[in-house]
Amino acid sequence: MTVEAPVSHLRENPYDIAREQLRRVADAFAIDSNLINVLSECKKSVVVSIPVGMDDGSVRVFEGYRVTHNIARGPSKGGIRYHQDVTLDEVKALAMWMTWKCALMNIPFGGAKGGVICDPKQLSELELQKLTRRYTSEIINEIGPERDIPAPDVGTTPRVMAWIFDTYSMNKGHSVLGVVTGKPLQLGGSLGREEATARGSLFCIREAVRKRSRRIEELRVAVQGFGNVGSFLAKFLAEDGAKVVAISDSRTALHNPNGIDVPAAFAHKQETGTLEGLRGAETITNEELLILDCDVLAPCALEQVITGENADQVKADIVCEGANGPLTPTADEILEDKGVLILPDVLANAGGVVVSYFEWVQGLQEYFWKEAEVNAKLNDIVVRAFNETWATRETRQTSMRVAAYGVAVQRVAEATTTRGLYP
C-alpha cells in the first residue's frame, strides 16, 4: 500500500514564504533581479519511492525527497526530516533557508534538505532501519562528502545517520566519514554536535540581552518544543540563571510562573518519553504557551506556530527562532510593529550546521577536536554572525531577519556572479 500525505499543519506554503522573503531582501538591498531569478529556484529536486517490508509481512511504499537549492559556495548541506506532514515544497523552502544559514555563518556550503513522509514513532526500529537504508540507496548518487552532506532534523537521530553512513560506505567499499554529520561519536561524530543548535541559540540570546542592557538572570523564558533544540536550550538558559517558566512537547505543555525544574523535566522526558506527568507545573496547551507573559519566547518545534491570528497576543520582548520558520511573514510584521526583537532562524538555529561543518572537517582530516575547542569555535562564528547582522540592522534601519538575509543573500549572489553562468 502507498502512504498518502495527511493534512498538513502548514497554513501557508513554506516555499512561497521563502521566495517572498528573498524578494523583500532583494528590494531592500537592491540585488540584481536576474540573480534573484536564479536564487528563487532550487537547483535539483529528487522524489523517490521507498518500498519497505513491514513487521506484519505487508509492504508499504513511502515517498521521500532530496532537494539541493544552491552550490555556489560549496557542496550542499542539510538535514533529513521524517515527519507525516513533509511536503516537497516544505523541503524546498528548508533547502533555501539552509543556503542562507550557511552563507550567514560564512561556512563553505550551499543549502539542501531531505524528507520522508512517515511517522517514525509508529515504526519499529527494524522498519525504521529498512526505510532509512532504502531511502539512502535511492538518493546515493545525489549525496557524498564533496556533493551533498545530510544531517539529522525533525524525526531523525544519530542512529539514523549511522545507518545512512553504513549504507553509503558499504556501496563505496570503504568507510566515508564525511558523507553525513550528526553521527554517533564512535562513528566519527563530533563532540558538541548534539547540543550545538541549542548552544547557538543560547549565544544569540546572550548577545541580544547584552545589546538591550539586560541580564540573563532577570529573564523569564518560555520554550516550545522539548526535542533536541528545545530541551538543551531550556537546560542552558536555566544554567545561565534564567527562569524557565514554560516548556512543551508534542503532547503536553507545562507552566510554572516561579520556574520549572528543568533537570527534573529532562530526566522525566528521558525516562517516560513525554513531559506528561511532570510534577511542579500546571498543564496548559501549546497555543497558550506562545502567548504567556515572559521575556523570551523560543519556538523550537515546527513551522508556522505564530501567525497573523495569534502574533498580537505574544507578550515576549525577544522571540528566538529555534525551529525553522516558526513565524509567518504576517506574524513577523505584527511583532516588528510591537517592537519585539526577533532572532531569525537563519541566525538563531545555525549552531547545528556550524558544528556539522566542524564534524565534516574532522572526518575529512580524521583528526578530532576536544569539546571545549568545538564550543569555543562555535561561539566565535555565531557571535561574529550576530554582530554582522546587528550592524546591518542598525545601518539599514531594518529588522534582524531582513538584515540576516541581506548579509547571506549578498554572499551567495557575489559567489554566483564571480563564478558566472555555465555554459
The residues carrying an active-site annotation are 113
Cell of 1: 500500500
Given the DSSP bridges, would you call strands 243-248 and 76-83 parallel, antiparallel or unpaired?
A: unpaired
Q: Give the span between the Cα atoms of 269 and 288, in whole angstroms.
A: 21
Task: Write the single-letter amino acid at 42.
Answer: C
Angle at the Cα of 32 from the Cα atoms of 26 and 34, rounded to 5 degrees: 110
Radius of gyration of the chain from its Cα atoms, rounded to whole angstroms: 21
Q: Give the span between the Cα atoms of 84 and 120, in whole angstroms.
A: 8
DSSP state of 225: -
Cell of 384: 561574529
Q: Give the span between the Cα atoms of 67 and 61, in whole angstroms.
A: 20
Bridge partner residues of 320 (DSSP): 343
CA dihedral 179, 184, 186, 188 (to 10 degrees): 30
Of the candidates 124, 183, 200, 140, which has an alpha carbon nearest to the alpha carbon of residue 368? 183
> Left, alpha or beta for 192 (phi > 0: left; psi -120 to 50: alpha)?
left
Cell of 92: 524546498
Strand order in the sheet with 59-70: 44-53, 59-70, 110-117, 76-83, 148-152
Q: Give the span between the Cα atoms of 13 and 291, in whole angstroms.
A: 24
CB burial of 382-400 (b: ≥16 within 10 Å; e: otherwise) equals beebbebbbebbeeeebbb
Angle at the Cα of 256 from the Cα atoms of 255 and 258, rounded to 5 degrees: 155
Name the burial class of residue 291, with classes exposed (0-12), middle (13-18) and buried (19+) by CB atoms within 10 angstroms of its CB: middle
